[in-house]
Amino acid sequence: MTARGERHLKGEREFIVLGASQEASLGRRVFAYGRGCTLVDVDGREYVDLAAGTMTQSLGHSHYEVVSAVAEQVGALTNVHDNPTPQRLDAARALAQLLPEHLGAIGFFTTGTEVVEAALRIAHANAEPGRTRIAALRRGFHGKTRGSRAAVQWDIGTEPPGPTLLGYPAYCYRCPFELTYPSCDVLCARLTVKQAIARPDVAALLAEPIQGAAGVIIPPREYWEVVGKACAEHGVLLIADEVLTGGGRTGEFLASQHYGLEPDLVTLAKGLGSGHPVAVLAGRPDLLTEDTWSAVGGYSSTFGGSPVGLAAASTTLTVLHRDDLIARVRELGLLLADELSTVAEHPLVGEVRGLGLLHAVELANPTVVGRVFQRALDMGVRVMPGGSVLRIAPPFLIEPDELVDAVRRLGRAIDQVHREDAP
């Protein structure tokens, strides 16, 4: 960190409380602007952004069509609560072009955690008498408000245990049962059914089809075949939390589509608005009705459905559909997987896994994740650290040679840290 960056951080500490993300506290970079897949800090240093903001910049930073749409909208209308606007209809139509047909009803919100809260309210509003509990999966992440966070008990001393019934994700690399797929017969799925779904008091299962914050956990297809079928058989609503995966990042608009799932409700946010606060609850029309919305206090919120955010969303989704970027994600995903196959051979790397433009490098020694992240930053590559993994989720418009070069620099960062610790 150079003098200008340090002065900025010192100035912020006079006003802003600590508690930043691991990435921000470790990185100590002050970013000034972004263009495409490149971030530039206040000292003029450039970084290839393999984290796409916070997995929000599907079209890259400052995409010219999004910038133009937002600038025009800011000069026209910014907020009229939940009243109808042309931008809301435009965004709904753009979204409908990409969503599975059975998800025909839509509500707009601002953040991922807010839309998860709305999904939980809808689940309870539609539940049969006696179905009062929500099931979820261990290691899941659904937001930071009290309701969404209570769905999965985090190891935080200030939070009481949530009322959720917890099933098991298909975390094959660190299987809690010390079994190996496929000889395990997806025991994790079968226990999830037995302990969390096949109960008469469960209203819904809230789960990420691919767990993101947990480290990009990619279940085998059989996992969701077992769990999805059980939800249907037991009358349990399936809420697919696709806040991170929705919007094309995995090579389908929804990660659910890789598994043939037809969730009853879907939450989306990160990839929809090119960094502007937009979230969506999409669901079956018989669940999202005027009566159920009214019963749970409506879906209005102060900034939900802001014309500015919706202008960004409709433009982002239009470009995604018009330019067939999901097909591009699949192509780039194959390239990314191929490059990471070399990284996977390094002795410090435990496993590489991913789908489309969402991958994780899990290190065999979790204690060095922060150092590898910092070393990669020093080499001009930004990834996203978390626990024992480094997540990679670049913008969809990254050029192939840019992606290859950045991954190779990440590989060198891993190797340098490993060599420093070698006896």
Q: Which residues pair with 281 in a beta bridge?
A: 107, 267
- Please work out, in degrees rounded to the nearest 5, the angle formed at the alpha carbon of residue 241 by the alpha carbons of 280 and 337: 110
pLDDT in tens, 208-225: 999 999 999 999 999 999
Contact 243, 115 (CB under 8 A): yes
Evaluate whether residue 208 is within a structural domain.
yes
- Please work out, in degrees rounded to the nearest 5, the angle formed at the alpha carbon of residue 58 by the alpha carbons of 60 and 148: 130
Evaluate whether residue 307 is within a structural domain.
yes
CA-closest candidate to residue 413, choices 387, 385, 378: 378
Computed on alpha carbons and rounded to an integer, the radius of gyration of the chain in Å comes to 21
Q: Which residues pair with 82 in a beta bridge?
A: 80
Tokens representing 309 are 């955010």
Tokens representing 212 are 């993101």
Query: Any idea what DSSP says for residue 259?
Result: G
Report pLDDT for 110. 94
Contact 49, 406 (CB under 8 A): no
Tokens 């802001």 sit at which residue?
Answer: 306
**What dihedral do alpha carbons 58, 61, 67, 73 form, nearest 10°?**
60
CA-closest candidate to residue 237, choices 131, 107, 320: 131
Tokens representing 113 are 């955690």
Report pLDDT for 27. 84
Contact 216, 325 (CB under 8 A): no
- How much is the average pLDDT of 69-89? 94
Q: Is the pLDDT of residue 154 over 60?
A: no
Query: Any idea what DSSP says for residue 34?
Result: E
User: Cis omega (within 30 of 0) on the bond before 169?
Assistant: no
Confidence band of 174 (pLDDT split at 50, 70, 90): very high
User: How does DSSP assign 224-262, residue by residue?
Assistant: HHHHHHHHHHTT-EEEEE-TTTTTTTTSSSSGGGGGT--
Query: Any idea what DSSP says for residue 33?
Result: E
**Mean pLDDT across the chain:** 93
Evaluate whether residue 310 is within a structural domain.
yes
Confidence band of 147 (pLDDT split at 50, 70, 90): confident
Say how far apart CA 85 and CA 114 lie, in whole Å: 21
Evaluate whether residue 202 is within a structural domain.
yes
Alpha helices by DSSP H, listed for 137-216, are: 146-150, 187-192
pLDDT in tens, 275-298: 999 999 999 999 999 888 777 666
Q: Which domain, by its residues, includes 267?
A: 65-322
Alpha helices by DSSP H, listed for 52-170, are: 52-55, 64-74, 86-96, 112-126, 146-150
Q: How would you write 366-411 as a 3-class SS string?
A: HHHHHHHHHHHHHCCEECEEECCEEEECCCCCCCHHHHHHHHHHHH
Amino acid, single-letter form, for residue 256: S
Tokens representing 179 are 């079994």
pLDDT in tens, 16-33: 876 678 888 888 899 999
Looking up residue 275, the CATH number of its domain turns out to be 3.40.640.10
Evaluate whether residue 90 is within a structural domain.
yes
Evaluate whether residue 348 is within a structural domain.
no
CA atoms within 13 A on the CB side of 47: 31
Task: Give how far Cα 253 sits from Cα of 69, 171, 269, 290, Å.
Answer: 23, 23, 12, 27
Q: Is the dihedral of CA 177, 180, 182, 183 positive or negative?
A: negative
Is the pLDDT higher at 236 or at 162? 236
- How much is the average pLDDT of 352-367? 97
State how beta strands 31-35 and 38-41 pair. Answer: antiparallel
Number of domains, the chain: 1
Evaluate whether residue 290 is within a structural domain.
yes
- Please work out, in degrees rounded to the nearest 5, the angle formed at the alpha carbon of residue 291 by the alpha carbons of 115 and 203: 55
Contact 289, 371 (CB under 8 A): no
Percent of the chain at pLDDT exceeding 90: 82
Tokens representing 232 are 């249907």
The model's pTM is 0.95
Evaluate whether residue 345 is within a structural domain.
no
Contact 206, 135 (CB under 8 A): yes
